[in-house]
Amino acid sequence: MLCDEVLEAIEPIAAGDLTPDQTVAAHLASCASCRAALDRARDIERMLQARAAPAAPPHFTSRTLARIRRDEWRRDQLLDAGFNTAVATLVLAAVAGVWLVMHQSGIVTVSNDAVGLIEMFIVVVARRIAPELPLYAAATALLAVTVGVWWWAERDVTNW
Amino acid sequence: MEPVNERELVERCRQDDEGAFQELVDRYKNLVFAMIARTVQDRSRIEDLAQDVFLRIHRGLPYFRGEARLSTWIYRIVANVCAQARAKAPDQVSLDDERSAAVMPSGADPQFADIELRDRLEKAIARLPDRQRLLIAAHYLQGVQYEDLADALRLPLGTVKTHLYRAKRQLRRLLETELK
């Protein structure tokens, strides 16, 4: 049997996954090089099994949970910001859409005309009222004095 | 861990039970930490990467269908986190590091020789390809079977064994070359 064939089986033998048959065992007994390789493979197997497994440091759990909470908070913030941005965009889009529809259908022009008419009406009424203003002011003052006198005459003096 | 308990724990975690998630972290932290510590070269990043693993577990639990064991799913996440860490910061460790350049002198203390050999083994492991290093890291953790690794890495059982044997052959050759 060739050394190469045995060397192929060295690691499975060292790991205990393969039991050497008679031919391999005989070769290992007679070949110092393959026997040394098997010894080395067994050393490696032993060292790998005894290899230190570092434990998590103290407070690892609390630090991890704190990080997860921070992550969740950040994600919530992002979600909120995204939601608010989406709502604002929708509102803007709706306003723009309504304005566009009104503009396209001519309603904007009509409403502009309506505003102009109201302004004209206010101006006309103000011009007509302006000359009579002292008369209205005197009538309002007379009414206020009358109400005042009536209140003074009818007041309940017993409450004083 | 008992599969039934595992399912209950996952279910409680899915219902946003922070106590349950804390229990999950406590159960798996040492395994995750050890796997990362054995795979990643940069010591300062181990805890950060281990936390990344649990962050991904927390985010992924709602989508965990329970087809695989929880531990298998966790190994898979560790493998992904380690692969990404490696991609971000490729590191090279040489067996010719000045601290280990001196080959064991003849007649040296056997205990010292063992320490020396372990040190060289660690450096040889660092030179293995990512997947082989992860396999070595995981396989020699307590309770991790060939089948768990095959499930986690979505590889046939025979392939996992072959990769492991190749990795160990590579380690043996590296050590033999260095000690000649």
Domain ranges of chain B: 1-91, 92-180
Confidence (pLDDT) at B89: 65
- Its ipTM equals 0.73
A4 min Cα distance to partner chain B (Å): 12
Tell me the whole-structure pTM to 2 decimals.
0.65
- What pLDDT does B58 receive? 93
Which is it for the CA torsion B96, B101, B104, B110, positive or negative?
A: negative
Q: Do A56 and B33 touch (CB under 8 A)?
A: yes
Taking CB atoms and an 8 Å cutoff, what residues of chain B touch A12? 161, 165
| Beta carbons of A68 and B54 less than 8 angstroms apart | yes
Nearest to B34 among A15, A40, A54 (CB): A54
| Residues of B (141-160) whose Cβ lies below 8 Å from A | 141-142
- Residue predicted with more confidence, A124 or B101: A124
pLDDT of residue A160: 42
Task: Report CA dihedral (B73, B74, B75, B81) to the nearest 10 degrees.
Answer: 110
Say which CATH architecture domain B92-180 belongs to: Orthogonal Bundle (1.10)
The set of long-range contacts for B154-162, using a CB threshold of 8 Å and a minimum separation of 24, is: B154/B76, B160/B135, B161/A12, B161/A17
Position B151 scores a pLDDT of: 83
Q: Which residue has the tokens 């059982």?
A: B157
Is the separation of the CB atoms in B77 and B109 below 8 Å? no
**Which residue is closest to B116 within chain A, CA to CA?**
A47
From first to last of the 160 residues of chain A, give the pLDDT tens digit. 688 889 889 999 999 999 988 999 999 999 999 999 999 999 999 999 888 788 899 999 999 999 999 998 998 999 999 999 999 999 999 988 887 787 777 776 777 778 888 889 999 988 888 888 888 889 999 999 999 888 887 765 444 4
Which CATH number applies to B1-91? 1.10.1740.10
